Amino acid sequence: MITQAESKKKPLLKVNNLKQHFPIKGGIFGRTVNHVKAVDDISFTIYEGETLSIVGESGCGKSTTGRAILRLDEPTSGSVFFEGQDLLAMSKSQMRNMRKHLQVIFQDPFASLNPRQSVSQILGEALAIQNIVPAGKRRERIIELLGYVGLRPDQIDRFPHEFSGGQRQRIGIARALAMQPKLIICDEAVSALDVSIQAQVLNLLKSLQRQFKLTYLFISHDLGVVRHISDRVMVMYLGKVVEIADKKSLFDNPQHPYTQALLSAIPVPDASKKQERIILRGDVPSPINPPTGCRFHTRCPHAMDRCKTEIPALTSLHDTHQVACHLVQ
């Protein structure tokens, strides 16, 4: 359903019917007794130069989606087209070559850098693996990269433990930039940082996006951060996409009851403004045996009989707003 507004933009990454089911082994013979349906049949498109955010609570499959696109975990089924080529159909060595176009920034800046490598080794290795810069010019390039992310040239031979969390995250960003990627997946990239550092790193990501024409898939549970950085937002619940829209439309006019509940949880910095909170009852159901029909019906304040049996399809509300709910159809 390519609408007029969308057809003008060029799709960079197209995810179709992606499924990621993790087997649960049990019994004495280690047979597969069940599956955790972490991501269950989702489709979406990322357009060149935009920032698409995935939000949702823990366990909704947002990080799994990112890892599946990068084939850090092999997805169960589906296809991921990057510039028209299916990443999931590629051989291991073809995929290794493709990896320079898709980079990732991880959540934990303390775990994402090898503690035994200095900055120059970390970045030098990135350059060496894909042979982006000839060996003789690597050190210059590393210093250039450090400059882009706001680190000093004299920090080049330091080790990760000599940096603060924010600085380490900058090294992680520099490592991703070293590959001159087109798409960067930011997997909770600022969640582990202090709020003040978060803002700095977010602004850095934004300015790098302008400078290098990057496309971001930004995975986060923090709606404030998402509002700051995104062009479009995708809301996930229990392995399914429930709503996907441009930022303004989603924040101003959320359609799905789950999105509404999520947004009502954002604190408002004005005590006099009374805000109606939608409190969701109960826990997220298990992704091993997700509810039939609409996955949200067990906690939805507006659930109808139909929701228990029929899976709502993602339907367009208008040009840039799609939602999967029986209420809006």
| Residue 216 to residue 134: CA distance in whole angstroms | 28
Cα-based distances in Å from 197 to 111, 162, 168, 193, 243: 18, 17, 11, 6, 30
C-beta of residue 103 within 8 angstroms of C-beta of residue 130: no
| Residue 6 to residue 158: CA distance in whole angstroms | 46
Contact residue for another protein among 46, 52, 151, 193 (CB under 8 A): 151
Contact residue for another protein among 34, 43, 200, 209 (CB under 8 A): 200
Q: Is 193 in the site for another protein (CB under 8 A)?
A: no
Cα-based distances in Å from 210 to 51, 106, 239, 281: 11, 21, 32, 42
Q: In the range 128-147, which residues lie near another protein by CB under 8 A? A: 129-130, 139-140, 143-144, 146-147
CB of 239 to another protein, least distance (A): 21
Q: Is 12 in the site for another protein (CB under 8 A)?
A: no
CB of 316 to another protein, least distance (A): 33
C-beta of residue 235 within 8 angstroms of C-beta of residue 262: yes
The set of residues, in sequence order, having a beta carbon less than 8 Å from that of 167 and lying 6+ positions away, is: 151, 155
122: left (phi over 0), alpha (psi -120 to 50) or beta: alpha
C-beta of residue 46 within 8 angstroms of C-beta of residue 13: yes
| Residue 104 to residue 69: CA distance in whole angstroms | 11
Q: Which is nearer to another protein, 102 or 234 (CB)?
A: 102
Q: Which is nearer to another protein, 65 or 255 (CB)?
A: 65
Q: Is 90 in the site for another protein (CB under 8 A)?
A: no
Contact residue for another protein among 19, 100, 221, 227 (CB under 8 A): 100
Give me 251's structure tokens.
């924040």
The owner of tokens 């604190």 is 267
User: Shortest CA distance to 101 belongs to which of 1, 213, 7?
Assistant: 213
Q: In the range 101-120, which residues lie near another protein by CB under 8 A? A: 102-104, 106-108, 111-116, 118
The owner of tokens 């982006």 is 132
CB of 234 to another protein, least distance (A): 21
Stretch that binds another protein, among 124-132, 212-220, 244-252, 307-315 (CB under 8 A): 124-132
| Count, residues near another protein per rule CB under 8 A | 53
State the binding string over 207-226 for another protein (x if CB under 8 A, else -): x-------------------
Using DSSP, state whether 84 is helix, strand or coil.
coil
Contact residue for another protein among 25, 31, 96, 302 (CB under 8 A): 96
Q: Is 35 in the site for another protein (CB under 8 A)?
A: no
Q: In the range 45-74, which residues lie near another protein by CB under 8 A? A: 67, 70, 72
Residues that bind another protein (CB under 8 A): 67, 70, 72, 95-100, 102-104, 106-108, 111-116, 118, 125-126, 129-130, 139-140, 143-144, 146-154, 156-159, 161-162, 172, 175, 179, 199-200, 203-204, 207
